[in-house]
Chain A
């Protein structure tokens, strides 16, 4: 799952700045979401869905 960090992550063996997009396992995505790192992901998913609808 591709996610974009809303704040820096220096945990779990990774060291990434805010704004970095990475492809992570579903479990890691859930962990990041729980930790408040993925607010932008939810917005992006909604945006993508609306784009698909417009194309239909």
Chain B
């Protein structure tokens, strides 16, 4: 497959997660997901900066969050995630474009990261879907790779 042309449909973006590298399974019933990479800046302003702040990049960090719907029988859903959180499991996560066929589109790029669950919340209103929201802090290098 070739790299996807044009603007990508957000429904094609999926999050795969597991406790073993290269053994990730899609998180079921996700309604929204995001990954964020931040760079702290070092202030290197001196008397010779001409009155303007000068900066250089410092510590980089990343986090991932998603929300979804709760299903008791999900293969990889809230029940599995809460077990990972309680156990403090190291999680291998792929944030990728699967396209409409649920197959990672070779030629596109994806995130391949490792992280720990820092927050997991289940919500239940009145006559509504039971939902959950997940936050993961990424540890180590954020790998951006071409899907093979």
The residues of B that contact A40 with a CB separation of less than 8 Å are none
Complex Cα spacing A14 to B25, Å:
9
| CB of B102, distance to nearest CB on chain A (Å) | 5
**Distance in angstroms between the alpha carbons of A12 and B76 in the assembled complex:** 14
With A1-B102, A1-B103, A2-B102 already in contact, the answer to whether A23 and B25 are too (CB < 8 A) is yes
Bound form: Cα–Cα A1–B96 in Å: 11
Given that A1-B102, A1-B103, A13-B19 are contacting pairs, would A25 and B24 also be in contact in the complex, using a CB cutoff of 8 Å?
Answer: yes
Q: A25 near B16 (CB under 8 angstroms)?
A: yes
Contact B25 A26 (CB under 8 A): no
Task: Return chain A residues, CB-CB under 8 Å to B20.
Answer: 12-13
Closest A residue by C-beta to B106: A26
Q: CA of A24 to CA of B75 in the docked complex: distance in angstroms?
A: 11
Interface of B: prevailing SS: loop
**B147 close to A (CB within 8 Å):** yes
Interface size (A, Cβ < 8 Å)? 17
Known contacts A13-B19, A14-B18, A22-B75; is A28 also within 8 Å of B24 by CB? yes
Is B143's beta carbon under 8 Å from chain A?
A: no
Contact indicator A27/B75 (Cβ below 8 Å): no
Please tell me if the beta carbons of A27 and B25 are within 8 angstroms of each other in the complex. Answer: no
Per the 8 Å Cβ criterion, residues 1-56 of A in contact with B are 1-2, 11-14, 16, 20, 22-28, 30-31
The residues of B with any CB-CB pair to A shorter than 8 Å are: 14, 16, 18-20, 22-26, 75, 94, 96, 98, 102-104, 106, 147-148
A-B contact pairs, 11 of them (CB 8 A): A2-B102, A13-B19, A14-B25, A23-B16, A25-B16, A25-B22, A25-B25, A25-B96, A27-B24, A28-B23, A28-B24
